[in-house]
Chain A
Amino acid sequence: MTRAAFIRNSLAMGIGFPFLTNFISACGRDEFQVPEFQTDFSGKVIVIGAGAAGLAAGYLLQRYNVDFQIIEASSVFGGRVKRADNFVDFPIDLGAEWIHASPAILAEIIDDPGINANIDFITYNPQTFKAWNGEKWTNHNYASNFYSEYKFKNTTWYGFFEKYIAPELLDKIVYNQPVVKIDYSGNQVILQTEDNNFYEADKVIITAPVKVLQSNIITFLPELPTTMSSAINSISMDDGLKVFIEFEEKFYPDLFVVGRFLQSLSGDDKIFYDAAFRKDSTRNVLGLFTINSQAAPYIALGSDQAIFEKIMEELDEMFEGKASQHYIQHVVQNWSKEPYIKGSYSYNFENNQEDTVNTITAGLEDKVFFAGEGLSIDNQATVQGACESGYTAVEKILT
């Protein structure tokens, strides 16, 4: 059961019990352990993608002194972990933003008892909730009593990777190398990039987003087995959009939705939220997070400017012109438009999730392996899930 489904059911029941409350925690966080093992592996590994899963895989390969390289299609590392540094006086997560677990998960990802550092976080427990039905607002502040997560206070997910995971990997990452062909027919796996560069390795970990795999940007030789391609195509990953707008004053609640409140939280999300909530800042930043069918109409508009204007139009209607009146600046992050990402995150599985994930993570002829947020059963669609799957793929290769 998803967290949203659990909340709906709990509310319907009207009464909770301690075990149910433990269960809600379990919906948000599952056991996460960096694998420890013995290995005699002496070959070379190439990781395709320098997102959270790829960086985590590199982090573990480094720990076991394995010869490896990370081939990244874009010019930066992070993937869907991305930061806007100079927008306001605190860094903004343009991609993954919430810590969908206890902040202790950050220590578990790093798994380094020798590290001497702390990270500040906020309890993201908005106090004012509203829903706009097209004509009027309804209050849903009761939600402050059961919805709570965590966010970074002074840094971002990107900042976390930049400081604690990436430093040892920077000289291992090769940028601007979109892989277009993976030949695993021989003893070695040969990768061909868009620029006709070739890379060879004994094992390869593919961490490209599901949507990239589905779009056949990368061809395989031999072709992917039908079971594998069917499994990949059975995971849905659709549009994703984040927009941040700075205003002179805060005229909006901590969190608001358009449409029915609980349905909006649990379905295809479109959530406006105070992005400066409990941050060390006096600036007023409204965030819009929207995915799937809710994001599609915006994405269809094409340009970032058209998307921004549509959102301002909506806000002005909701807040009687205050959006235009107090507007200062904005930033649009259209994830669907990112050529090597193409959407938000894995969302739904046509078939049994565990079977699908097991089919894909079984890999190809013990030479090509897969990782990514969509391939974590316990922490799917989260940064820690991406890291977990990266670690698992490395463990498979080295043991």
Chain B
Amino acid sequence: MNKNPIVDEYLEKKMKSPFYLIVFLCFLTNLPLKGQNTKMPVSIGYFAPYGVQYGAKAGISIPWKNWESDRKEDQIRSYNLTLDPQIGYFVFPEVQNNFFLNMELAIRSHKNEKRFSPMASAGLGYLLGLQKQEGSVNLATGEIDFETTALHYFVPTVSLGFNIKPKKSMGYYFKGFFGRKIIRGLEGSTIIGAEAGITFNINQKN
């Protein structure tokens, strides 16, 4: 194939920013090559902080380390340590819209080839809350204009739950989480809730 230096130069410039993203993704997807399990389940979940707020999150489980324990005969227990980056949104209706980025370190274990695996995780996230602190109501129409204030929180959490691993393509998970919303200059608050969702594999190299 003939090379065109002008085209090459254009592509080099054009692809520069996506290039770094691709390198980063390659880095992430290469992480599991160090372990035995190369599946990278994607999860999509519905969750409800405090029982009255609700939202959704999406994430991916990046295998970091796998090992097995065979202390009991005929019962090999596998352990998977994963890094789970997540992105999500939840709402406190009429009061606050929340966007967050979260990174969890999760451990899952399962016996032999069983699909059920209990899980525990610890995470740290950044949460952007857009809070409707005040507003104005038009007395003719009842229309409301809210003024929104941005609030920045750090949210360390711990979770306990279980996974039903994907049999072919889809699995499920449920977990409860507990943590703290930490905000500079103000008192923080406890965050507690539950999450349920589905998982599916996007990369099966085995």
Instruction: Give the interface of A toward B (CB within 8 A).
Output: 7, 10-11, 13-18, 20-21, 24-25, 102-104, 106-108, 110, 112-123, 125, 127-128, 139, 141-142, 144-146, 148, 153, 164, 278
Contact = CB atoms under 8 A, between A and B. Distances in A.
B187 A116 contact: no
Interface stretch (B32-40, B58-66, B91-99): B91-99
Contact of B187 (A25, A127, A145): A127
Contacts of A16: 48, 50-54
Interface residues of B, number: 36
B137 A14 contact: no
Contacts, number: 128
Given A25-B94, A112-B140, A141 B190 contact: yes
A115 B141 CA distance: 9
14 contacts: A10-B50, A15-B194, A16-B48, A17-B48, A18-B54, A20-B51, A107-B137, A107-B140, A122-B133, A125-B95, A125-B131, A141-B189, A146-B51, A146-B52
What 4 A-B pairs have minimum CB-CB distances, sorted nearest first? A107-B142, A141-B189, A104-B142, A10-B51
B187 A113 contact: no
B50 A145 contact: yes
B18 interface: no
Residue from B93, B94, B132, B136 whose CB has the most chain A CB atoms within 10 Å: B94
Contact of A103 (B50, B131, B137, B189): B137
Nearest to A13: B51
Contact of A141 (B93, B94, B146, B188): B188
A11 B132 CA distance: 23
B134 to A, nearest CB: 5
B140 A116 contact: yes
Interface in B1-54: 48-54
Nearest to A109: B139
B158 interface: no
A139 B137 contact: no
Interface string B116-136: 000000000000000111111
Contacts of A119: 136-137, 139
B140 A113 contact: yes
Contacts of B142: 104, 106-108
A25 B144 CA distance: 16
Contact of B192 (A14, A107, A114, A148): A14
B176 interface: yes
A164 B139 CA distance: 10
Given A25-B93, A107-B138, A114-B140, A123 B133 contact: yes
Contacts of B136: 118-121
A174 B139 CA distance: 29
A13 B194 CA distance: 10
B76 interface: no
A34 to B, nearest CB: 12
Contact of B53 (A113, A122, A145): A145
Nearest to A12: B51
A117 B92 CA distance: 28
A3 to B, nearest CB: 11
A16 B93 CA distance: 12
B191 interface: yes
A148 B92 contact: yes
A13 B54 CA distance: 14
A242 B142 CA distance: 30
A112 B92 contact: no
Given A121-B134, A123-B132, A141-B188, A146 B140 contact: no
B193 interface: yes
B128 to A, nearest CB: 15
